[in-house]
Amino acid sequence: GSRDGTASYLSATAASSDIALTAISEPRPGLAAARNAGLARARGRVLVFVDDDCRLDRSYLIDLERHYASGEKWLIRGGRVETGDVLDLPFTIKRCDERERLTPAVHPGGFVLGCNMTMHRDVAARIGPFDERFGAGGALRSAEDTDYLVRAMLAGMAVEYVPDMTIFHHHGRRDRMAIDRLHRDYHFGNGALLLKHFRRAPWLLRHFYW
């Protein structure tokens, strides 16, 4: 839904790139709709989701290749998220130093961030598209990534965080008002997430009550 020249910029970048790129401009608004547009057109074995305000670390693709070399396919994996600008407040980041997997005892929100999330294409085919009611630009404002993680767990798949595979998040939030708006959107999306899943994932009740 961008109207700021993004489509022409991406087309020019794709035309001059040494790597084969396909630029896609999705007219529908919303982050989940954009993710689904990429999913529908992706042809690779490995899918990687990053956001428009993120920059990959130089070793990102090396880390990514190493993790997939294990041969384990049925999981969603996310990596470290650092602030991209020292002026941005330390929110929407993930700096844990230990590799870990999501269990019902852990709050799923923020365990793996949608701005740094990868999976095998067969995983995405089994889980299905992102729920476009959720996410930035959608009616429910946030939690499209958390919804996807919960759906993966309900399908019997693992969700893993690794402390490498780093991106830098240039989110631009530099005052308390911006963070408060973000938290309101998170609470709104999480409330909808609970209503959607509490029958099949009653363990969510404990986390959201807290």
Q: What pLDDT tens digit does each residue of the chain (210 aa) get? A: 778 898 899 899 999 999 899 999 898 999 999 999 999 999 999 999 999 999 999 999 999 999 999 999 999 999 999 999 999 999 999 999 999 999 999 999 999 999 999 999 999 999 999 999 999 999 999 999 999 999 999 999 999 999 999 999 999 999 999 999 999 999 999 999 999 999 999 999 999 876
Residue with tokens 């190493």: 66
Cα–Cα distances in Å, from 183 out to 103, 151, 174, 187, 198?
24, 23, 14, 6, 21
Residue length of the chain:
210
pLDDT for the residue numbered 192: 97
Report d(CA 49, CA 116) in Å as an integer: 6
- Angle value at C-alpha 45, between 201 and 35, nearest 5 degrees: 55
Report d(CA 119, CA 181) in Å as an integer: 30
Structure tokens at 76: 């969603």
Q: How many alpha carbons lie under 13 Å from residue 25 in its C-beta half-sphere? A: 14
pLDDT for the residue numbered 3: 83
Number of H helices, E strands in the chain: 7, 8
Structure tokens at 21: 């790129």
- Residues 84 and 169: beta-carbon distance below 8 Å: yes
Phi, psi (degrees; rounded to nearest 5) at 82: -110, 160
Structure tokens at 87: 């002026």
pLDDT for the residue numbered 144: 98
pLDDT for the residue numbered 7: 87
Model-level pTM greater than 0.85?
Answer: yes
pLDDT for the residue numbered 208: 82
